[in-house]
Amino acid sequence: MSKYINTLIVSLFLLNISFAGNKIFNKSNKQKVDQCITCHLDDEETNKEPAHLYKQDIHFEKGITCAGCHGGDATKDDMDEAMDKNKGYIGIPNKAVRYKVCIKCHSDANKMKSFGSNIPTDQFEKLKGSIHFSESLNGSTPIADCVTCHSVHNIASVNSPKSTVYPTRVPYLCKSCHSNAALMKKYNPKLPTDQYNKYRTSVHGKQNAKGDTNVAECVSCHGNHGILSVKNSKSSVYPTNVPKLCSKCHSNAKLMDKYKLPHDQYENYKESVHGKALFVKQDLSAPACNDCHGNHGAVPPGVESISNVCGTCHNLNAELFEKSPHKKVFDKLNLPECETCHGNHKIIHVTDELLGVNKHAVCSKCHNNTKKDKAYFAVLDMKTLIDSLINSDSSSKKVLNNASQKGMDVSDAMYSLKKVKQVLIETRTVTHLANLKKFKSKIKKGFALTSKTKKEGLDAIDEYYFRRYGLGVATIIITFLVILLYIKTKRMDAKKR
Amino acid sequence: MKEKYNTKLYNWLDERFHLDSLVSFLKHKSVPDYRNTIWYYFGGISLLLFIVQVTTGILLIMYYKGSEDLAYESIQFINAKVSFGWLIRSIHSWSANLMILSVFIHMFSVYFLKAFRKPRELTWYTGIFLLFLCMGFGFSGYLLPWDELAFFATKVGTDIAGQLPFVGEFLLKLLRGGDDVTGATLSRFFGLHVAILPGIFIVLLSFHLIFIQRQGMSEPEEWKNKPESEKKSIPFFPNFALHDLLIWLIVINILAILATFFPWELGSKANAFSSAPVGIKPEWYFLFMFQALKFIPAKIWIFEGEVVGILTFGLAGLLWILVPFWDSKTPKGKRNKILNYVGLFVLAFIIIFTILGYLLA
Amino acid sequence: MTDNLENQEKKVEKTRRDFLNILLSGGFIAWIAAVSYPIFRYLKPPKIEVVKVNSVKIGKVSDMQKDTGKIIKFGNYPVIVLRLANGNYRAFSATCTHLGCIVQYRKDYGQIYCACHNGRYDLHGRNVSGPPPAPLAKYDIAIKNDEVTVYKPSA
């Protein structure tokens, strides 16, 4: 009898093993018995508890047992034997050292390959230098580690919509800390906490809410593991890096075509004064994409608000424009205010050719040579005046250069000429007011200056010739004397003899 | 009428100072009249140029400011804003160079005409010292505009002075008023240029002139050995003096022409932190020494090449100064061929190395 | 007979000599004039008396209204002088530290303002808003006998 029962038990056991073995072999090449799950599944009451969750976990699919992270012996069903410290059992690791469990495999390229995975293994390297890992309240526990974002026990592949870091779920994930003012205050009271709300007003946010995974969410711009402070020049959202970042998507023709958007903005921006200021001069005050479009609430400014947007820096021009007759007309005609004449991305250095009625001028696009159009003649007047001042200035400069070449000092006059530059700047700015009288009053000063400096230059040249003339007179006197003396000495010497 | 006033003045002075003996003495002063008389003018030309320097120098002091922040600007100011400031300044700079040239010619002509021989040894010694003072004037004055060229030329020059063994470091600190060329150097050089050197110069010059007046013009062997019928001389007053005056007028005119057509330049303001301009070299009267030093290898036996060079120049200079001593060995009336050859060698050396200094810039 | 001739010759000689002497004296006087003229003109002080501008007088205390600003020429540089609402005077360099435009005082902002790119400086010259990367250099004010003088701070 006992022999029979023994055989039954052994065969049942062998059968169990082979089944279990099959099961495991189907999923991976490592057969592992996970007794932990078996016991804990019985213990748990809800589906939200670890063992239940773990069934959905990608690590479970790969055949990693609970002991793979928690240590211990997964083959033992006896609690003490399974959760044996000598077998490496670590219990529930605390937040300060939790990451060490993950990096045991995830930072080891060979280990990852052995599970048939091609995902990168530099996450911890990046995380180590990031702001989430380097900041801490007690000096040892990082703000965020692997578990904070990827969660635990139900970790899904990043490509699965179930993953906490799937593009449509990322905003909610980041929001859980970054919109919590009380929490953020503990680390950096100055950081705003409205990014999520702003994001949802943006085109990116709205699309993302609809399930579009092509649009930008937090990770697309800030990165995932290696997130640096915005003030860090290596951060992807540091001002000089922003245009390139946006162009990652916005210069992608195929992607942009899907949304019927242009894809030349970055190329245009690079040619613009703003782009040159940012990239070449490294002037951080120059606007990048986010300064005009917003960063979290990114949306192109509406037609009526363009002058306000440009006006955050070009304050005076915006003020003048808003006082001008153009503002009402442009808004009525749905013309994009500043952009109408200056463009949006490819804003290049303005020349005087923009003003007037010639080929490159913008005024003649609306104003015509008819009796009723007073503005046409005003524009003509303005252009003529500016051209005339520039001519006057350059002829003054010529005279002064001539004088200076001759060795005369004209530094005072040269300084006055700098004031002409100032007058030209002010005059060109006041064209935004579109008022001929004001224009004339500004430019008057310039003509006074150029005529004064020209006179100073001509005086200097006169002085130059005066010196030579004076020398000539002195030479004549001396030569006269020399001849006389010569005669006298000759006489004297003769007398002596 | 004029005659009466002249005589009245003369009598008034004569009563007090007994001018008769002086007048008769001066009446007898004469200059040998032969092919080498032309060289006798150069002493006078040097004197004229010195007077021009003192006059223009005093005028410049009215507007020049000798501090680091203001020196450069004050020269610009003189050049541009002060009436005829450009003229005074350029004359001062040109006259400085012409004076040194004239003094060199004067020295060499005295050397070759053997005018240093007994009894005129002291005249020679004071003259040589005056030459050194002239070069000191040149060196100190050159720094005063405080432009880049001046700054670096002074730096290089004082560096060389610092190379002298034993006294070098002390001398360098003394000249520079510190370790580097700074505003302190400018102050010292200014004081040297307008007070110390002029004071010493005037004293020595007075001696030099008194000696000449007392001893009369030197009469070289060549002239002395002429037969009586061919021996001609010009009375100093009024003939030679008028010739002098004529030449002086021409020199003044030349100065005015140079100042107008070749105004003296002013570079950019000195900046201690900029690098020395390429090919920096001292003014032409130091150039031959500078260039010669460049040819000396870095090390000669166990000594530093530059130090050997400087000491050699020092020794050569000393021997040159002591020529009355060497020449005294010559029996009276004989020509000293060796001296002539040495003189020609020195002249050729100076000319060749000065030219090289410009060619190899 | 020969005496007469000799006398005549001597007379002619004398007149020639006198003529020559007159010409010579005249010539010398002209020469002295030609040399003294530049020297005297030189000694006469030029219009701008000083080489380097270290201070500029800008007028009486009451010349400027309270809470206004004006630009003055200080040597070769523009300087903005402010009279604050409490009557105190302040002066700063008027060259904006961003791209060099000339700043102005905006009463409505209570700040120094740069029209080029909306840069703002507070009443201590510190850059508080907009692109300027650095504050405006401060100049000192001295008020003596009711006269306001702007001068460069020492060192």
Look at residue A389 in the predicted model and tell me its pLDDT: 94
Contact: B239, A488; criterion CB under 8 Å: no
Rounded to whole angstroms, the Cα distance separating A277 from A347 reads 12
% chain C with pLDDT above 90:
41
Identify the band that residue C145 occupies on the pLDDT scale cut at 50, 70 and 90. Answer: confident
Element (H, E) at B303: strand B303-304
C-alpha distance from B217 to closest chain A C-alpha (Å): 18
Flag whether pLDDT at B213 surpasses 90.
no
* Cβ contacts of B193 within 8 Å, gap of 6 or more: B137, B140, B141, B144
B184 contacts B67 by C-beta, under 8 angstroms: no
Flag whether pLDDT at B134 surpasses 90.
yes
Q: Please name the chains neighbouring A, where neighbouring means 3+ C-beta pairs under 8 angstroms.
A: B, C
Look at residue B331 in the predicted model and tell me its pLDDT: 63
C-alpha distance from C34 to closest chain B C-alpha (Å): 11
Flag whether pLDDT at B87 surpasses 90.
yes
Kindly state the DSSP code that residue C147 receives in the 8-state scheme: E
Contact: B83, C38; criterion CB under 8 Å: yes
Flag whether pLDDT at B217 surpasses 70.
yes
Contact: B253, A478; criterion CB under 8 Å: yes
Q: Give me the residue from C23, C102, C116 closest to A484, CB to CB.
A: C23
Look at residue A374 in the predicted model and tell me its pLDDT: 87
Residue type, A408: M
Which residue ranges form the domains of chain B, and what is each CATH number?
Answer: 38-223+234-268 (1.20.810.10)
Average of per-residue pLDDT across B106-130: 91
Residue among C51, B79, C50 nearest A408 (CA): B79
What is the pLDDT of chain B when averaged over all its residues?
88
Q: Where are the strands (E) in chain C, listed by range?
A: 55-60, 68-74, 77-83, 89-93, 104-106, 111-114, 119-121, 127-129, 138-144, 147-151
Interfacial B residues in 257-286 facing C (CB < 8 Å) = none
Give the residue, A16 or B254, on which the prediction is more confident.
B254
Contact: C47, B87; criterion CB under 8 Å: no
Flag whether pLDDT at B22 surpasses 60.
yes
Look at residue A496 in the predicted model and tell me its pLDDT: 65
A495 contacts C56 by C-beta, under 8 angstroms: no
C-alpha distance from A452 to closest chain B C-alpha (Å): 18
Residue among B175, B144, B141, B178 nearest B160 (CA): B175
C19 touches chain A (CB under 8 A): no
C155 touches chain B (CB under 8 A): no
Flag whether pLDDT at B298 surpasses 90.
no
Contact: B250, A468; criterion CB under 8 Å: no
Look at residue A43 in the predicted model and tell me its pLDDT: 82
ipTM entry: 0.77
Identify the band that residue B361 occupies on the pLDDT scale cut at 50, 70 and 90. Answer: low
CATH class of this structure's domain C55-151: mainly beta
pLDDT per residue over B52-73, tens digit each?
A: 999 999 999 999 999 888 899 8
Interfacial B residues in 46-75 facing C (CB < 8 Å) = 59, 62-63, 65, 69-70, 73-74
- Please report residues of C whose CB lies closer than 8 A to that of B259: none
Rounded to whole angstroms, the Cα distance separating A425 from A443 reads 10
User: Three-class SS of residue B138?
Assistant: helix
B153 contacts B298 by C-beta, under 8 angstroms: no
Q: Give me the residue from A407, A478, A493 closest to B249, CB to CB.
A: A478
Identify the band that residue B252 occupies on the pLDDT scale cut at 50, 70 and 90. Answer: very high
Q: Give me the residue from B234, B242, B260 closest to A471, CB to CB.
A: B260
Look at residue A240 in the predicted model and tell me its pLDDT: 92
- Please report residues of B whose CB lies closer than 8 A to that of C44: 83
- Please report residues of A whose CB lies closer than 8 A to that of B86: 467
Contact: B246, A482; criterion CB under 8 Å: yes
In degrees, rounded to 5, the angle at the alpha carbon of residue A139 between the alpha carbons of residues A133 and A141 is 50
Look at residue B2 in the predicted model and tell me its pLDDT: 60
Name the β-bridge partners of C142. C149
Instruction: Compute mean pLDDT per 10 residues along chain A, 497 residues long, and list them.
Output: 72 61 48 76 83 88 88 85 87 88 91 89 90 83 90 89 92 94 90 93 93 92 91 91 93 93 93 93 89 87 82 89 91 89 89 86 86 88 93 92 83 83 89 92 91 91 90 91 88 73
C14 touches chain A (CB under 8 A): no
Which of A469, A476, A477, A485 to mutate to probe the B interface, most B CBs <10 Å? A485
- CA dist list (Å): A333 to A145, A303, A312, B61, C89: 54, 10, 24, 73, 50
Closest Cα in chain A to B33: A493
- Please report residues of C whose CB lies closer than 8 A to that of B87: 38, 42
Kindly state the DSSP code that residue B265 receives in the 8-state scheme: P
Contact: B81, C47; criterion CB under 8 Å: yes
Identify the band that residue B102 occupies on the pLDDT scale cut at 50, 70 and 90. Answer: very high
Contact: A471, B256; criterion CB under 8 Å: yes
pLDDT per residue over B172-187, tens digit each?
A: 999 999 888 989 999 9
Which of B253, B255, B262 to mutate to probe the A interface, most A CBs <10 Å? B253
Identify the band that residue C51 occupies on the pLDDT scale cut at 50, 70 and 90. Answer: low
Look at residue A26 in the predicted model and tell me its pLDDT: 47
Rounded to whole angstroms, the Cα distance separating B189 from C33 reads 34
C-alpha distance from C118 to closest chain A C-alpha (Å): 5
| End-to-end Cα separation, chain C, in angstroms | 93
Contact: B253, A475; criterion CB under 8 Å: yes
Contact: C38, B69; criterion CB under 8 Å: no
Look at residue A28 in the predicted model and tell me its pLDDT: 46
Q: Give me the residue from B86, B245, B263 closest to A485, CB to CB.
A: B245
Look at residue C47 in the predicted model and tell me its pLDDT: 74
Rounded to whole angstroms, the Cα distance separating A8 from A4 reads 6
Look at residue B333 in the predicted model and tell me its pLDDT: 61
